[in-house]
Amino acid sequence: MSRINEIILDKFQSYAIIDIKWSAQMNQYQKTTEKKKQAIIQSALSLFKEKGFKETSIQSIAKVAEVSPVSIYNYFDKKDNLVALCINELFKDIIQEAENILLSNIDYKSKLNQALALCQKKISQQISNYFQEKTLEDPTFTKLMTKAIDEKKREIYRAYIELGKNENIIAKDLSTEVILNVMSALNSTGNHLSPNKNIDDETKQIHHILLYGILTNSRTI
């Protein structure tokens, strides 16, 4: 091997080592960042439950999460943006259950029925069981939470609608977005942030409206 080739090879190996070290540092930085973000979300969720949304400050979240307030502003900009992430954290089990139902071997109608019940009844129960009444009476918090819940429901329902279309159960010429809008309008029952004694009856009625309004074998032209 010529001297020039040796020099080029040495340079290449040096750059490769530097790249490996840089990648390792970046991976560690990303892990640290994600760990901080999770600590912030968990702390915010805990404080929203304990003290309420209005009484929880960025400084108090930072103290519990053991990060600087600057980190919270850098990652999330403002306290309001933490609400949707707290909803994701609170509903992780429900989201997983919805995915399990989607992948199960039961018939499509049963899947959709179970998913609708899950998103209406369980979400409402989870919210009313977790947060204190004073938190749920905060108009800013309830507005942010209702928006986050609706977006999460639409994400779940979208997967079910696409499955129904693929299985030729939901008419393919119907717009997924239109169906989602109809479901969101009807599905306000599941956005109750306090106990609702009529939720079972209301849920059954919504199921009936949705199912017999979108199934191909019940459509009339």
CATH code (residue 188): 1.10.357.10
- The pTM for the full model equals 0.71
Instruction: Assign 167 to helix, strand or coil.
Output: coil
Based on the fold, state whether residues 41 and 137 are members of the same structural domain: no
Q: Are 51 and 131 found together in one domain?
A: no
Same domain flag for 102 and 138:
yes
d(CA 162, CA 174): 11
Q: Count other Cβ atoms within 10 Å, centred on residue 131.
A: 24
What span, in angstroms and rounded, lies between the C-alpha atoms of 170 and 214?
6
- Residue 109 and residue 206 in one domain: yes
Asked if residues 191 and 150 have their Cβ atoms less than 8 Å apart, the reply is yes
Q: What is the pLDDT along the chain (221 residues), one digit of tens a residue?
A: 555 555 555 555 555 555 555 555 557 768 888 999 999 999 999 999 999 999 999 999 999 999 999 999 999 999 999 999 998 888 888 889 999 999 999 998 889 888 888 887 788 888 888 888 888 889 999 899 988 988 888 888 899 999 999 999 888 888 999 888 887 776 665 455 555 555 566 666 666 666 665 555 554 43
CATH code at position 17: 1.10.10.60
Same domain, 63 and 95: no
Structural domain tally of the chain?
2
Ramachandran assignment for 107, one of left (phi > 0), alpha (psi -120 to 50 degrees), beta (any other): beta
Q: What is the rounded CA–CA span in Å between residue 8 and residue 17?
A: 14
65 and 100 belong to one structural domain: no
**Which residue range(s) make up the domain with 113?**
91-218
